[in-house]
Structure 1
Amino acid sequence: PLPGQANWQTIIALSAKMGYQMDYPHPERIFAEMASLTPLFAHFNYKEIDEKGMEWP
């Protein structure tokens, strides 16, 4: 990633340079979209994961 940027911010910047604008001001929005499209993640809560972490089985 670029200095001072998280990976998700770098991907969004690269995507914009390639002509595909993404509207994700926070990783919570990315997670919400992923959860809406992936049944495996539908029961997870971003805030809870952010606070407590998550262990993959």
Structure 2
Amino acid sequence: MTNDDHRRPSSCRSAGTWGPSFEVARSAYKFLRNKKQEWEEYRSEVTAFELKALLPVL
């Protein structure tokens, strides 16, 4: 048994692959990670409208 075998479902251990459900989960994880990064970049942008509408309030 390798170091990663304890994390694999028993159905995947004998085949030596993680299986399609792992690939789907990994793809979903990467997608969400990328979306979170996009959102952080988007949030850091200050638009001209925000400057005009909100700066006088400060």
Q: TM-score, normalised by structure 1?
A: 0.25
Larger-Rg structure:
2
Q: TM-score, normalised by structure 2?
A: 0.24
Bigger relative contact order, structure 1 or 2, given CA contacts below 8 A and separation 6+?
1
Higher helix share: 2
